[in-house]
Amino acid sequence: MRYSQMLLPTTRETPSEAEVVSHQLLLRGGFIRKLSAGVYTYLPLGLAVIQKVAQIVREEMNRAGAQELLMPMVQPADLWRESGRWQKYGAELLRFTDRHDRGFCLGPTHEEVITDLARRELQSYRQLPKNLYQIQTKFRDEIRPRFGLMRGREFVMKDAYSFDVSDEAAGLSYQKMFDAYHRIFKRCGLEFRAVEADTGTIGGSFSHEFMVLARTGEDTLVVCEQCSYAANVEKAAIAPPETGAAPPASVREMARVSTPGVKKVEQVAGFLGVRPADIIKTMIYLVDGDLVAALVRGDREVQAVKLKNLLGATEVELADDKTVYEKTKLPVGYLGPVNLPLKVVADQEVMAMVNCVAGANEKQYHLTGVQPGRDFVPFLAGDLRQVTAGDPCPSCGGPVQLTEGIEVGHIFKLGTAYSEAMSATFQDSDGSEKHFVMGCYGIGVSRIAAAAIEQNHDRHGIIFPLPVAPFQVILLNLGLKNEATTRAAEQLYHDLQDRGVEVLYDDRDERPGSKFQDADLIGIPYRITVGRTYEKEGRVEVRRRRDGNTETIEYDQAAATVAGMINRELAAMAG
């Protein structure tokens, strides 16, 4: 491609709307332009990156035995009513009606459509297993789109769905995807971890997220320092505390103490001369419309997703003080589990506490000597709190670390949730009718582009991993006015293309400085310069974007040498 003919609008200044580096560089480098909040046009260079990622995904999915198809973006409401998600999915599902007043939605995911297809086309166990995937634009009416391609409302996603005869067979399909995902992200040049994850609204029993490690990540991961355990904090389990440690003699009676104006855990601890760990923190959540009290130790935090899962709820959010007061007339700030007229759920750790301090449900008063089990009995006790750095790993007991990640892939074991809801069955070898055992597997293709940049950039711009770079080589002609130099550059441009190298030929009438800056900004892995060195010595310069290493090469050798470097590097990354 000739740069002079390409729509590649780079800018020197960073648009004020961009906060994170990937967003800034994608805008500055002329990869994307915003049309509306969370909705972007992919300019030629941006599209090239998307297509590179998509092709890697496609190759590895095919290698794993999956087949590509393409489903409609517009989906009938009836299908979603069948699965029950028309109600469940919420405002993120963009709904609309056609001229006949029939309900439709823009597909945020395709379990319904694929399950409908499967029940029509798959009748026999002989047709299984099947794994079907597509690479398509999805739409989710995100509450808050942000960070450019990291969280758009419209985005390119690969979604795959597997159908199996049994749970065991589905496990195999899952494992195949697990392995394929490792290959995909490795080939994309990403540093990532697979972590145990919450299943969210998609539902199902078991799932892994694939996380690109980056400071700007929106998810927090728990990673063990000693073993391979890794999980999303939303999910990361905490081993139950050892019980029976408290000697009975030390158990005191409950007492009411005046604590005027003292509300926060820190204040209470200071005022009463106890540790935060001796206090029971009572947090009020709105769980599917009802108020629920969640108890954790004073020095811990409630993990809302864990609470949600423990209660089997669909929606959980922290209730604000106003709501709590209006609904219960209880004194916010002085709440405690003793005689609390709300459903109480306790973290397992709370049940092991002795002689605790808790709110008295009375303004300006707390209780001391509170004994869980004696003075109150929770509706449920379980793992509720968020893991903190240094907590013991649930797998090996070693200390865990917290780190940030960008979710680029998510695989789920769905079981028969959808096939049952939508009556999708096949006939098994013994003649019996069975529901498909399903799995679903997503990859955020456009998000990978953003994640790759978050992980690979410097102050000059992007440093694309070779396999996802929009071009492999940028060829700079710095001697446009010199006929011989230009002839040589043009010839090299063709020679590289003949060898299958993807090359952007900068033939613009620009000063060298601008060309260097643009080349760095858009992150092409290899840069070849034809200019002064060619005129003096008949040599060209080859520079690697990542480390700035530069060598000069005899002009005649240049195309072959660079093509060889690229092929070797690609082969190494493909594993």
Partner RNA sequence: CGGGGCGUAGCGCAGCCUGGUUAGCGCGCCUGCCUUGGGAGCAGGAGGUCGGAGGUUCGAAUCCUCUCGCCCCGACCA
Q: Hey, which residues between 394 and 433 contact RNA (CB under 7 A)?
A: 407-410
Among the listed residues 132, 157, 170, 296, the single contact to RNA using CB under 7 A: 157
> Site for RNA (CB under 7 A): which residue of 83, 419, 446, 472?
446
Q: Of 99, 100, 120, 144, which one interacts with RNA (CB under 7 A)?
A: 144
* 3-class state of residue 28 by DSSP: helix
Residue 308 CB, nearest approach to RNA (Å): 7
Is the preceding peptide bond at 129 cis, omega within 30 degrees of 0?
yes
The token pair at 113 is 């459509």
Q: Which stretch binds RNA (CB under 7 A): 63-71, 135-143, 391-399, 424-432?
A: 135-143
111-144 in b/e burial notation, b at 16+ Cβ within 10 A?
Answer: bbbbbbbbbeebeebeebbbbbbbbbebbbbbee
Separation between Cα atoms, residue 209 and residue 231, nearest integer Å: 8
Residue (286 or 565) nearer to RNA, CB: 286
Instruction: Give the x-and-dash track for 22-41 against RNA (CB under 7 A).
Output: ------x-----x-xxx---
Considering only residues 495-524, where is the footprint of RNA by CB under 7 A? 509-514, 516-521
- Residue 400 has phi, psi (to 5 degrees) of -105, 160
Cβ atoms within 10 Å of 35's Cβ, excluding its own: 10
Q: How far is the CB of 430 from RNA (least distance, A)?
A: 35
CB of 143 to RNA, least distance (A): 4
Residues 35 and 457: beta-carbon distance below 8 Å: no
Residue whose C-alpha is closest to residue 293's, from 257, 347, 245, 252: 347
The nearest distance, CB 229 to RNA, in angstroms, is 20
Identity (one letter) of the amino acid at 66? A
Closer residue to RNA (CB): 41 or 123: 41
CA distances to 433, 492, 497 from 474, rounded to whole Å, are 59, 11, 12
Q: What's the angle, vertex CA 355, arms to CA 353 and CA 361, rounded to 5? A: 95
522-541: which residues touch RNA (CB under 7 A)? 529-534, 541
Q: Which is nearer to RNA, 12 or 329 (CB)?
A: 12
Structure tokens at 59: 């190759």
Q: Which of 281, 493, 437 is nearest to 366 (CA)?
A: 281
Shorter beta-carbon distance to RNA: residue 86 or 271:
86
Q: From the CB of 145, what's the least distance to RNA, in Å?
A: 6
Footprint (CB under 7 A) of RNA, residues 84-113: 92, 109
- The CB-side HSE value for 242 (13 A sphere, CA atoms) comes to 3
Among 155, 376, 464, 471, binds RNA (CB under 7 A): 155
Judged by CB under 7 A, which of 15, 65, 398, 399 binds RNA? Answer: 15
- Cα 477 to Cα 459: distance, rounded to the nearest angstrom: 24
Stretch that binds RNA, among 14-22, 117-125, 326-334, 343-351 (CB under 7 A): 14-22
Cβ(351)–Cβ(242) under 8 Å?
Answer: no
* Contacting residue, 119, 151, 306, 366, with RNA by CB under 7 A: 151
Question: Could you say which residues in the range 302-361 bind RNA, by CB under 7 A?
Answer: 304-305, 308, 316-317
CB 403 to RNA: min, Å:
15
- Which residue in the set 95, 146, 186, 343 belongs to the binding site for RNA (CB under 7 A)? 146
- Tell me the three state secondary structure of residue 421: helix
Could you say which of 295, 543, 555, 559 contacts RNA (CB under 7 A)? Answer: 543
- Distance (Å, whole) CA 179 – CA 60: 10
Distance of CA 45 to the CA centre of its chain: 24
With beta carbons less than 8 A apart as the criterion, state whether 364 and 259 touch: yes
Evaluate the CA torsion angle 357, 359, 361, 362 in order and state its sign.
positive
- List the one residue from 59, 82, 142, 299 that touches RNA (CB under 7 A): 142
User: How do 130-139 and 67-68 pair as beta strands?
Assistant: parallel
**Window 201-240: residues binding RNA (CB under 7 A):** 201-202, 209-210, 218-219
Of 58-66, 254-262, 364-372, 443-451, the segment contacting RNA by CB under 7 A is 443-451
CB of 52 to RNA, least distance (A): 17
Tokens of 419: 């096939």
**Euclidean distance between CA atoms 542 and 342, whole angstroms:** 70
User: How many residues in the shown chain lie near RNA by CB under 7 A?
Assistant: 75
Nearest-approach distance from CB 464 to RNA, in angstroms:
15
Near RNA in 160-189, by CB under 7 A: none
250 binds RNA (CB under 7 A): no
One residue of 19, 179, 225, 321 binding RNA per CB under 7 A: 19
Q: Which residues in the 43-62 window bind RNA by CB under 7 A?
A: none
Structure tokens at 386: 């968020």
* Least distance to RNA, CB of residue 141, Å: 10
* Minimum gap (Å) between residue 523 Cβ and RNA: 11
Enclosing H/E stretch for 170? helix 167-187
3 state SS of 176:
helix
The smaller minimum CB distance to RNA, of residues 208 and 435, is found at 208
Q: Which of 46, 336, 415, 444 is close enough to bind RNA by CB under 7 A?
A: 444
Among residues 261 and 513, whose Cβ is nearest to RNA? 513
What is the DSSP secondary structure assignment for residue 242, as one 8-state letter? P
